[in-house]
Copies of this chain bind each other. A is one copy, B any other.
Amino acid sequence: MAIRIGEVARRAGLATSAIRFYEREGLIPKADRRGNARVYGDDVFDRLALIELAKSAGFTVAETRHLLRGVSRRSPPGPRWRRLAEKKLDEVEARIAEARRMRAVLKAVMTCECPTFEDCTRAGC
């Protein structure tokens, strides 16, 4: 208990600036103060873990704020999570598809033997 921001950052593998940023953005509650320094309880790590989870799922900060409203690590992943996850899934699939298209273009460029780009276009390289 009563951990200061530097220690939280070290343990969580984050920069202190990131933690302050999360607070500003409403992803973690306003910390208690000792003097003017923030002090945290152990629960902050749970909160940060949830943020990491959302991040690893591709959610933006704004989406994560929404996602975390009224949620603790002891809550179940409710219908709001499922709904947002479905939407995000579409986005992520789209990203995968686009990256695959890029990969196809790159492979074509690497292997094609057309004498000019013009021919490439015709041949679909």
Contacts and interface: CB of A to CB of B under 8 A. Distances in A.
A21 interface: no
Interface in A84-119: 85-86, 88-89, 92-93, 95-96, 99-103, 105-107, 109-110, 112, 114-118
A7 B125 CA distance: 28
A81 B46 CA distance: 47
Contact of A73 (B89, B92, B118): B118
A116 B76 contact: yes
Contacts of A73: 116-118
Contacts of A115: 76
- Chain A contact patch, size range: 35 or more
Contacts of A109: 57, 77, 81-82, 85
A59 B82 CA distance: 34
A75 B116 contact: yes
A82 to B, nearest CB: 5
Contacts of A114: 76-77
Contact of A103 (B71, B96, B105, B107): B96
